[in-house]
Amino acid sequence: MGKPLEINDDSFEQAVIKAELPVVVDFWAPWCGPCRMVGPVLDELAEKYSGKVEFTKLNVDSNAGSAGKYGVHSIPTIIFFKDGKPMQQVVGARPKKELQEIIDSLLA
C-alpha cells in the first residue's frame, strides 16, 4: 500500500470503475516533465490516504483507449472517481493542497 498502482486499459474497469474506494487516476507519460513533478506528490498522498483512497497511474502512450474515453488531451490529467464515476478532473501540475482538498471532498 501507499504507492500508486500502475494500471492499463485492460485493468481500468476492475481497478477504477469497480473499486469500492474512491480512486485517483493519474494520466501521465514518462517523457512529460510536469507529470514527473506530480508523481512524488501523488506518492505522498497515496501514503497519507492508504486504505481510504486508491491511487493509480495510467501511461497514456500505451493506453490510448482509457485516455480517449475520458477526454484526456493534455497531461498530466488527474481524474477523481467515486462509485465508478468521474467526479472531478484537473489538468496540469497542481499543488498538493489542492489535490488534498479534492480528495477530502470525495471522502466527505
Placement of cell 497542481 in the chain: 94
Q: Which residues pair with 85 in a beta bridge?
A: 82
Report whether 58 contacts 25 (CB < 8 A): yes
Q: Is the dihedral of CA 57, 38, 100, 87 positive or negative?
A: negative
For the chain, state the CA radius of gyration.
12
**Residue 101: closest CA among 86, 83, 84, 88:** 88
Residues marked as catalytic: 32, 35
